[in-house]
Amino acid sequence: MSKSRDHILSRLRTARPMPMAAQAEAADRPQVAADRKQAAAEPRQTDQSSCQVTELSQELEASHARVIRISAADLPAALAEVCQHHGIQHLMHGDRPELASILGGLPDSIEAKRFERPLEQHKTAMFKRTQAGLSIACAGIARTGTLLLRTGPEEPRTLSLVPPVHFVILEVSRIVPDMQTALAEAPWGNRLPTNLLMISGPSKTADIQTTLAYGAHGPKVLVVFLLEEALRITPIAE
């Protein structure tokens, strides 16, 4: 195997004389690295935030997602109502202390299970029984109506993928104008999560005669709860 590696790399390194024109072009290209640096350094425009919330909402709605602007206090009732609307009885969520108070406000008719065991131990239930997944986004991108999810032990990948309905909570303070800013700010810390997910609507396809249809493989329904204030970790009432 490593012989192939050596062959490939040596072929790529074989002196390929760059013509004068290309050399001149390449000399211009430090601009690429400079652009990158500049993009990474540009500060976020916080005074645009209310426009950004509107822009994010509009983009998501145009992509067939539903957007609900809500306060943290009203979130449990809103979530319950949406669950009822979609006939959700089995909901799954990650191990997030912030969700405790929200889930505590759900009616008993909705079973909210925590994703706490490896997928293999409940794969069939996940695929056939779980009707909705509940996630918390680490950021939102206004320009394209995009939610960033940082996967990890508390946000398993399949939560936002397998159940046919997906609920996402996003604090409006975490909305940035564009992808460049989102990647530069790196709201996931200093190392990329194993999966960095950017979700911009429910699953769709136009593969049959260019006709748009939703719910190809990922969730058919995406509901985004935009929270005005930050989610707080409240002590669980015993």
Closest CB to another protein among residues 70, 196: 196
161: Cα within 13 Å, side-chain hemisphere: 11
Candidate segments 50-58, 168-176, 200-208, 227-235, binder of another protein by CB under 8 A: 200-208
| From candidates 74, 98, 178, 185, binder to another protein by CB under 8 A | 178
Can residue 11 be called a binding residue for another protein (CB under 8 A)? Answer: yes
Backbone torsions φ then ψ of 214, nearest 5 degrees: -105, 155
Task: Confirm or reject binding of residue 19 to another protein (CB under 8 A).
Answer: yes
Q: Does 190 bind another protein (CB under 8 A)?
A: no
With binding defined as CB under 8 A, does residue 31 bind another protein?
yes
Is residue 177 part of the contact set for another protein (CB under 8 A)? no
Asked if residue 197 binds another protein (CB under 8 A), the reply is yes
Spatial neighbors of 137 by CB under 8 A, at least 6 apart, are: 147, 148, 149, 168, 169, 170, 174
Q: Does residue 233 bind another protein (CB under 8 A)? A: no
Residues 6+ apart with CB under 8 A from 47: none
Helix, strand or coil for residue 56? helix
Q: Cβ closer to another protein: 106 or 198?
A: 198
Give the Cα separation of 214 and 108 in Å (integer). Answer: 30
Q: Are strands 221-227 and 139-141 parallel, antiparallel or unpaired?
A: unpaired
48 scored as a contact of another protein (CB under 8 A): no
Q: Which stretch binds another protein (CB under 8 A): 71-79, 98-106, 132-140, 213-221?
A: 213-221
How is residue 217 written in tokens?
Answer: 């493989």
Question: Of 68, 79, 93, which is closest to residue 228 (Cα–Cα)?
Answer: 68
Return all residues near 158 (Cβ < 8 A) that are at least 6 apart.
Answer: 119, 126, 133
Q: Which range touches another protein (CB under 8 A), out of 4-12, 131-139, 168-176, 229-237? A: 4-12
Residue 211 tokens read as 């006709």
Q: Which of 78, 146, 175, 224 binds another protein (CB under 8 A)?
A: 146
Task: Check residue 217 for interaction with another protein (CB under 8 A).
Answer: yes
CB of 68 to another protein, least distance (A): 20
**Interatomic CA distance for residues 235 and 162, integer angstroms:** 30
Site string for another protein, 147-166 (x = CB under 8 A): ----xxx--xxx--xx----
Q: For residues 61-120, which are near another protein according to CB under 8 A?
A: 63, 115-120
Rank residues 208 and 237 by Cβ distance to another protein and give the closer one.
208
Question: What secondary structure does DSSP assign to 95-113, as a single string?
Answer: S-GGGHHHHHTS-TTSEEE
Instruction: Indicate whether 125 belongs to the interface with another protein (CB under 8 A).
Output: no
